[in-house]
Amino acid sequence: MSDKPVFLVTHPRACSTAFERVFMTRRDILQCAHEPFGDSFYYGPERLSERYANDEAAREDSGFSKTTYRDVLNRLERDGSEGKRVFIKDMAYYLMPPNNEPAAIAPSLRKSEDYIEKGNPTVIPLATLKKFHWTFLIRHPRRGIPSYFRCCVPPLDEVTGFKHFMPNEAGYEELRRLFDYLREQKTIGPSMAGEVNGKNDGEITITVIDADDLLDHPQAVAKAFCEETGIEFKPDMLTWDDDENQQYVSEAFAKWNGFHNDAIHSKSLTARTKAHKTVTEESENEEWRQKYGNEAQKVIRACVDENISHYDYLASFALKF
């Protein structure tokens, strides 16, 4: 079984922070790193995002204006030097240029000035990518994208600091590209999570979790995930109603203010009691129109439709419950 740092990679609003809280209860064996690559992606000298390109004050205020991708990896190495296994939760799109632009290895990680890696969609060398135990979490765009849009418009934008919605932060295409590259390089697979036979020693299975399954069957999903990653599962990992846990989580999530309020104030991860209501494209459009206006509804619909194929593709590999 792999003892590499576990990397749960996802896209925004996939219930990933709620799932992360499960593993933050295991501070006896795990050191959790909450979205560390956002520091270099948004704020540092190697930043790839356009969001704060013209806002030097925001980059300085973040405290990460000098953070490179090498700095983030060094921080993760230090986390792993304390005898605990590292558990990372982060966005795939933090690892690659936006808008499907060609990737080049981040300057701080290059072996030489002209170093390139053909086919690598990320700014992280393949040798470094291979050091992690990769797992994936997805959520249908019709739920993930409207939730993210809400974080980027009034009144919540005053809290998050994300003052406008950027479709290139939806994150589905980047997650798919990373998934395919890791499979191609045999960093994950070929065995699927849950398969009993045919798995090679040391092989990292293809482990994809759908947020709907997580919300419907949280204990079963957490247990299956632990089996695939070699983390000891305990049922009480799904409960965190104590002051120590709450303080730890509040500090860990502070840098992404406003995005994780529900997860911060939660006390456990329990199965939802209300089934999804049946929706049509027309009813979705009307809901978004009422909440955000006509133009915003069109933006959300276009972004949802653009990403459904990426979600469907990744969902075809998801564990079944």
Q: For 175-184, write each residue's pLDDT tens digit.
A: 999 999 999 9
Encoding tokens for residue 268?
A: 């456990």
Encoding tokens for residue 23?
A: 């593993």
Q: What does the pLDDT look like over 221-264, one tens digit per residue?
A: 999 999 999 999 999 999 998 888 788 888 888 887 878 777 77
Q: What does the pLDDT look like over 196-211, one tens digit per residue?
A: 666 677 899 999 999 9
Q: Which amino acid is at 136?
A: F
DSSP output for 108-132: GG-SSTT---TT--SSS-HHHHTTS
Cross-strand bridge partners of residue 6: 87, 133
* Dihedral, 114, 118, 120, 121 alpha carbons, nearest 10: 90
**Number of helices (H) and strands (E), helices first, in the chain?**
14, 5
Q: What does the pLDDT look like over 45-86, one tens digit per residue?
A: 999 999 999 999 999 999 999 999 999 999 999 999 889 999
H-helix or E-strand spanning residue 213:
helix 211-216
pTM comes to 0.95
Sign of CA dihedral 75, 80, 84, 87: positive
E runs forming strands in 104-211: 133-138, 208-210
Query: Residue 185's pLDDT is what?
Result: 97
Encoding tokens for residue 120?
A: 């690598």
CA distance 35 to 252: 10
Q: Which amino acid is at 276?
A: H
Q: What does the pLDDT look like over 273-297, one tens digit per residue?
A: 877 777 899 999 999 999 999 999 9
